[in-house]
A and B are shown apart, each in its own frame.
Chain A
Amino acid sequence: MYDVIALNGLLLSCIYLLISTGFSLVYGVFRIFYFGFTITYTFVPYLTWIFWKDFNLALPMAFAIMIVLQILYSIASYKWCIKPNLADEGRLFMATLLIWIFFEELINFKYPIVAGVNFPAFLKGEIRVGSINLALQLLACCIISIALILSLAFFLLKTKIGLSIRAVSQDRAAAELMGIDVDRVYLYAMIISIFPPTICLVMIAPFWEISPYMGFPLLLTALIISIIGGLGNLKGTIIASFIIGFLHSAVSFIFSPRFTMLSGLFCALLILLLRPRGLIAGERVW
């Protein structure tokens, strides 16, 4: 029993980590709830599908174009949606919400569920670990997740751009006075934020829900993790991802899958009551 909970917990934790890191990074740098991020999840399978099936390109090429388009989406979102509305939280909230819903409906119009959007696992087969079967691709997802987060940590701690991002996340005005180009840092943060969820969705799509409305449940998970970890703090996000991953695994296995979301929400509420700023105080991105 413990091996099942542990392995599923590890798998879910790694997936949740990738899903929530980008959202948390954007919050950490901008201090905004960027709901336009939701569509980043949905873009992964659908943009890939368009170039793979509609334009008959090879799957790796379709992935590459999808990533380029995701970057362009981030830049466009920042330039035309976030930047002009940064001073007005209400308007920004509405704008990002509308972007998300607009793209969701657009995707649903062209590719409803019956269109059968999917793509195959590029790592075939499973391995038996203890009493559970684990798809090789999901195992690879776990390894990539950990490697990616370590790389991100290294990037934030050891590179000049990383230092700038941390500086802006701590105190934007002070960073600006120190000569940091805040506009450029924001842009970097937006671009970096799309990589963890994009890589995650590429890895898990063969085993996960693909629908035009797949973004919201993922965003909700990211939101819960961010609240527990401390809004916008990546160290907190890592810890919270593992807490929620193992909690979901245990609750689902021991009780019922019905209680997984409830357990996560309960955990988030508890944190809000006992440590309102999260496990790690979220005043900076790292």
Chain B
Amino acid sequence: MIRENIIEKVRKDFGESSDLTIRPSLVGGQTGYFVSLEGLTDKELLEEHLIKPLAEGVFPPREIEKRIFLTAPAEKVSDLEKAEQEISGGATALFIPGEEEAYLFSVKKWERRTVAEPPTSSVLKGPREGFTEDVNVNVSLIRRRVKDKRLVIKEVTIGRYSSTKVMVCYLSDVAAKKTVDLVNERLAHIDIDGVIDSSYLTKFLEDDPSSLFPQVGSLEKPDVVAAKLLEGRVAILSDGSPIALTVPHLLIESFQDSQDYFKRNTRVTVTRFLRLFGAIIALFLPAAFVAVQEFQYQVLPLKFLITIVNSTNGTPLSPTLEMMLVLIIFDILNEASVRMPRYVGMALSIVGAIVLGETAVSAGLLSSPAVLVTALSSIGLYLVPDDVGTYSILRLLFVAAAALLGLLGILFALLLLVAHLVNLKSFGANYTSPYAPLVNGDLKDGFVKRELPDMEARPESIDNQNPTRIKKDDFLRAHLDEEDPDEE
């Protein structure tokens, strides 16, 4: 039974918050109280479609639902705690003293960003839509691409204070039940005060959270998420975050890009090898530079060695310290450029490139090969943008290994790194698949990419219920064996 003093209790429960709006109004001839939060409610909708129709005439409360003009049906709740929770989420509650239950109406409205191209995943060719901070919009963006009832969206609420809506999306007859169950189980056990961004969930989902390598994919584009769902992966969307998480996530995904699927396979193959080469340069070049200077200078041909010796001659720091210093300065500049306001960014670039680089070399504090090596390594780093953080730490570790044992140190560090990688798992999938263990079928979308019609099966590296991706009839087989009309 709703008592007369209920409004006072609500006001007290909300700590006399100034944005709590309580509006008394006639409802079917009785006094009712509309309770909502300022800024989360569509005032016009509330006024025109809720308050006005309910204020006209005398009718029993059971007719309330018939008299309002809202698409979402009203919900009845008898638990004050739940009603308050819904008000916090943007719902409008109607309390009528003497009634058994309160009514909840969805007249939510708040400022939201429009769907735009995400700044970190811009493309030359292909869809440009990106996720927003509104999970419902994000779900609709995926639904628009996968128009099938088998696309299942399950909602869970996580966060004691934030009550964040988290959506688990998968294709019911493609995604492995084991993977879906594991995602649900791990999400169900998260007891945290708040989930501000989907990245809060990442560490709860990963198989080995202590690893430097991400075992959960993070994507900003609905077309890519839709493609991952079609492969049998599970996507996790969180309200307030424009980033969708996908599992299982494999190492090879860091070298793939959404545009790869819109280009010719030969071009994509070259690009993927370039990314791999970039990652290798980023990881090993600074370390190799230290190793050949400190220990194995005989590896270098004589002329090259003389050039290096001339350039480094007179530098006050040892090769290891010099390289460490330049790498750390680069990371500092990188961090500063991300955090500084855009209009200061240009000044920072000038300071970084000219003042620090040029002056330090001219002053003889740093050698020009060390700056060159760091620049090359850092360019390589950004060919694999998802793993920049990982590789920038690893290259420092490799430099340390090179300082200790030269090329042999790099080799031992590499062996331990590979041992770690081949042992990593992401939701039952081997992280280094399809290369270790070798999964022949999945090599078609590895570094050497085949055309889409060749990828008849879904990836075997991740569990799925339905391996068939492309069904080929006789016509298609005959057609594909013939000359390709799109051949350039």
Do chains A and B stick together as partners?
no
Give residues in A with beta carbon < 8 Å to B: none
